[in-house]
Amino acid sequence: MARWWRGAVIYQIYPRSFLDTNGDGVGDLPGIIARLDYVASLGVDAIWISPFFKSPMADFGYDIADYRDVDPLFGTLDDFDRLLAKAHSLGIRVMIDQVLSHTSIDHAWFKESRESRENDKADWYVWADARDDGTPPNNWLSIFGGVAWQWEPRRGQYFLHNFLASQPDLNFHNPAVREATLDNVKFWLDRGVDGLRLDAINFCFHDAQLRDNPPKPAELRTGRGFSADNPYAFQYHHHNNTQPENLAFLEDLRALLDRYPDATTLGEISSEDSLATMAEYVNDQRLHMGYSFELLTDDRSAAYIRGTVEDLEAKMTAGWPCWAISNHDVRRAVTRWGSDAANAESLARQLVALVCSLRGSVCLYQGEELGLPEADVPFEALQDPYGIAFWPNFKGRDGCRTPMPWSGDAQSGFSSGTPWLPVAESHQALSVHVQDAQPDSVLNGVRHLLRWRKQHPALVLGNIRFLDAPEPVLAFVRSERDETLLAVFNLSAQPVRWTLPSELPAVSPLTDHGLVSGEITGNALQLPAHAVFYARLG
């Protein structure tokens, strides 16, 4: 079976913000086609395209009304087929988002289900009677704030929504739902996609007994992907997601994928113990790869990164991880992990190098190769319902979703119309056009790094072993067959000195990676701010 995805670098495209070709202010599939040569120039192996399916766009495509059609906002099925063909001609694999746990309230299934308790789709969603006092059936909460139940007067029942009230949860306990879901997945596999990024894949099943979630102590109310003042953080989510029944469904999904030997799955997993869930979900019978929000947090310490990776390595002995430090749901990494604007460029390069040096595959989010900081979107321009609801304590996800800066003009070459989100002034000087012309830019540095990485099997496929080092130094060894490499990162904006462990074999520095590097003096390694040091061992 082909395993092209092992060690692959996957470039995430958020289509609304990539390139608009028709002047409506929203990016589209023809825009992706027009920029595929640019994507190929980066040296990535695949693209992951966030949802482009028919949708009312309450959650910008993650509320799907038709799994088998392209929303006119983005183009047509013919456009997608052209995109697929061009990507393949450039040697780029294509992965698409699949949002299986819930639909839009505009989906035909839900429109039928809500009409009565007797129709053919009556049991396709999670319906429950009110308690005697009219309140929801249990205490479950929505990630986007408030209760996770919405009253439907036509049925005289509540329906479950783990996200927006316009995103009702499907009832995966119903075998007809599972069968229809797999059939929708098959539609895209037959069309030729190379992989599926599975959104919120641990949310497919709920506790059939609808038991209350237990409370979480105040000191433990920290979450990944949501703010600590969100009531969602007040509970242990033992019953509204990550149910044992999901494992059998993942095995059915894998059986379908195995009929398409080149295709892969990447599951997004966010649970009470995401690393343990990843270990359970990712193996030869279930998902090919998994990633969680563990490195999408504010903690950038060497101890945290090491602990996270070692924890997963210990638990997921039979699976393959995928790492990301940025995506469309969190503040951009240069802002989240940076504190010194003077070192922003070296930090941006280091962050890409770091995620590309860990054992596993990699997701890079559009603009990460430019070193884009988080955009400051004023309240009156916000589009994200999550940010609007929690302003000003949490500003939502719009700051990482602003248009891709292709040129340095007012609209950044993104659209001839008014962009759906304002173009960030701070991004104009970091545009593709500007950085293309600068040999030492972040963009050209990332291009060089990704090609250099492919020359080193240890970085693509090797195992990983961490070395003891004081903060802010992160050090580990990657080994694959005859190649053993040392990777050392100074995670601070200040120079540091690290004494190399005496048990290391001969250290031969590698300097052709194009990054700010370090220098060995005697038995010590001198590392400038945000330096990355690679060396061959032995």
Q: Which residues are catalytic?
A: 199, 268
Give 125's DSSP letter: B
Query: How crowded is residue 454: how many other Cβ atoms within 10 Å of its Cβ?
Result: 14
Which residues have a Cβ under 8 Å from the Cβ of 519 and sit 6 or more positions away?
A: 525, 526
Instruction: Write the burial class of residue 194 (CB in 10 Å: 0-12 exposed, 13-18 middle, 19+ buried).
Output: buried
Q: Is the separation of the CB atoms in 238 and 272 below 8 Å? A: yes
Task: Give the Cα separation of 470 and 28 in Å (integer).
Answer: 47
Burial 196-232 (b: 16+ CB within 10 A, else e): bbbbbbbbbbbbeebeebeebeeeebebebbbeebeb
Which residue type does 451 have? R
Task: Give the Cα separation of 334 and 375 in Å (integer).
Answer: 11
Query: How crowded is residue 10: how many other Cβ atoms within 10 Å of its Cβ?
Result: 25
The gap from C-alpha 427 to its chain's centroid, in whole angstroms, comes to 22
Identify the residue whose tokens are 């701070």: 426
Burial 345-361 (b: 16+ CB within 10 A, else e): bbbbbbbbbbbbbbbbb
Nearest to 130 by CA among 101, 150, 154: 150
Q: Is the separation of the CB atoms in 5 and 46 below 8 Å? A: yes
Nearest to 377 by CA among 366, 392, 389: 392
Q: Is the separation of the CB atoms in 167 and 238 below 8 Å? A: no
Q: Tell me the helices (H) and strands (E) count for the chain, helix number first.
A: 15, 21
Element (H, E) at 199: none
Q: Is the separation of the CB atoms in 247 and 202 below 8 Å? A: no
The gap from C-alpha 419 to its chain's centroid, in whole angstroms, comes to 23
Strand pairing report for 524-527 and 519-521? antiparallel
Q: Is the separation of the CB atoms in 205 and 169 below 8 Å? A: no
Task: Give the Cα separation of 179 and 310 in Å (integer).
Answer: 37
Q: Is the separation of the CB atoms in 125 and 113 below 8 Å? A: yes
The pair of structure tokens assigned to 504 is 């290391």
For residue 365, what are the β-bridge partners?
12
Q: Is the separation of the CB atoms in 155 and 116 below 8 Å? A: yes
